Amino acid sequence: MQRYYTRACNFYYGNKSKFLLSKKKTLCLSGNKLISFDHIEIISRNSKKKISIKKLNNLPKDLKKKIILDLKKITSKKKNFAKLNFKKIPNILGVLNLTPDSFSDGGKFNNKNTATKHAIEMFKAGANLIDIGGESTRPGSKAINVKLEWKRINKVLKFICKKVPVSLDTRKAEIMEKGIDLGVKIINDVSGLTYDNESVNILKKHKIPFVIQHSKGSPENMQNKPTYKNELLDIYDFFENKIKFLRSTGIKHNNIIIDPGIGFGKNLKHNMNLISNISIFHTLGLPILVGNSRKRFIKELSGRNDSKNRIGGTVASSIYLMMQGVQILRIHDVNELQQAIKVFKELLKH
């Protein structure tokens, strides 16, 4: 039988969602009554068909059985973990780069005072966690050794972990373990746990929540003409296989977040297809994180090359992602995004 994938679509938000759910016209996403949907898209490697959830009975028996299993995953309630609240969409990871060479804010916050001030400001503005990293993984960047990465983040991490909830952005098992010992809540590995073979053992040992990100190639070469047979389905398969692998190693908890890795081994076409069809990843049954903030696709669409001033594109894409049920956004400009979301949600009430 041909492989089919299920994508929830045609979402409703807020009071409209609650009303339609009460009339049994929609299904809630992840057990959250504030967002629901009434259509699905059935996708294969060579076809795509959108149908109303009311018409599931018209499908062939085997396909209907598969879709119903997918809908159970899509609608299953997500348990909160690591200061993330899945009744609230979106949660926000505030970006704090302690690097001299990150693409939009390198060198801006890499001392204890400026880093702490910025972390607390983002937390007060509404970030659920502060995502701290000491190694740039921008396109073209080269890996640094453990000693240098730890030197960049050590003192700041020790101090900030006492002040606000922290997510640690690292590819290295040794850094992960040191960060966990200091109290970080989540490990965020942009390599999808492929850079350091010991990473999975550290995550299993400490039973800590973590992010699996998809990345094609290394930061040094990932933007050298990346290709896919079908980026959306290839990346879905990557996550499905990675989750099976993690289960086989003994990691049984569901405190796992998936991130399709916008800009990590993807061109503009790949990124746009992923963002516009992002809700397919709900079928994996895990929370979705997207790092859209200040990314290159904003420059490519707007025609303006200013990596420090892409707030407009960040806000527009963030609200789109929120309306597709994406549970977590990784954001530089936390205050500005929170302002936009508050206004948008208030307008939905009228």
Sign of CA dihedral 151, 260, 72, 1: negative
Q: How far apart are CA 174 and CA 180, in angstroms?
A: 10
The proportion of the chain whose per-residue pLDDT surpasses 70, expressed as a percent, equals 94
Find the DSSP H helices in 14-135.
15-22, 61-75, 112-125
Interaxial angle between packed helices 231-249 and 199-206, expressed in degrees from 0 to 180 and rounded to the nearest 10: 60
| Phi then psi dihedrals of residue 130, to 5 deg | -105, 125
The pLDDT tens digits for 21-76 are 999 999 999 999 999 999 999 999 999 999 999 999 999 999 999 999 999 999 99
Closest CA to 316 of 334, 296, 341: 341
The pLDDT of residue 336: 96
Q: Identify the band that residue 144 occupies on the pLDDT scale cut at 50, 70 and 90.
A: confident
The predicted model gives 224-236 an average pLDDT of: 92
Domain residue limits, the chain: 5-75, 91-348
Quick one: which of 200, 215, 211, 147 has its CA closest to 175? Answer: 147
First-residue to last-residue Cα distance in the chain? 47
Q: What are phi and psi of 211, to 5 degrees?
A: -105, 130
Q: Percent of the chain scored above 90 by pLDDT?
A: 83
- Supply the pTM of this predicted model: 0.94
> Region 167-173: what's the mean pLDDT?
96
Q: State the pLDDT confidence band at 140, using cuts at 50, 70 and 90.
A: low
Each residue's pLDDT tens digit, 243-272: 999 999 999 999 999 999 999 999 999 999
Does residue 86 surpass a pLDDT of 70?
Answer: yes
171-193 residue pLDDT tens: 999 999 999 999 999 999 999 99
How confident is the model at residue 102, as a pLDDT?
A: 47
Residue-by-residue DSSP string for 119-142? HHHHHHHT-SEEEEESS--STT--
Mean pLDDT for 130-157 is 87
**Is the pLDDT at 220 greater than 70, yes or no?**
no
The answer on pLDDT for 293 being more than 50 is yes
Section 313-339 average pLDDT: 97
Banded model confidence at residue 217, pLDDT cuts 50, 70, 90: low
Beta-bridged to residue 337, according to DSSP, are none
Residue 319 pLDDT? 97
Mean of all residue pLDDT scores within the chain: 92
pLDDT computed for residue 103 by the predictor: 47
Give the pLDDT score at 348.
Answer: 86
Please write the tens of the pLDDT for every residue from 89-107: 999 999 998 887 544 444 5
The answer to whether 96 and 119 have CB atoms below 8 angstroms apart is yes
Q: What pLDDT was estimated at residue 186?
A: 98
The whole-angstrom distance between residue 310's C-alpha and the CA centroid of its chain comes to 19
Residue 113's pLDDT is: 85
Band (pLDDT 50/70/90 cuts) for residue 110 is low
Residue pair 29/282 in contact by the 8 Å Cβ criterion: yes
Pick among 3.20.20.20, 3.40.640.10, 1.10.10.10, 3.30.70.100: CATH of 91-348:
3.20.20.20
Question: pLDDT higher for 252 or 220?
Answer: 252
Residue numbers annotated as active site: 295, 330
Helix (H) or strand (E) holding 320: helix 311-322
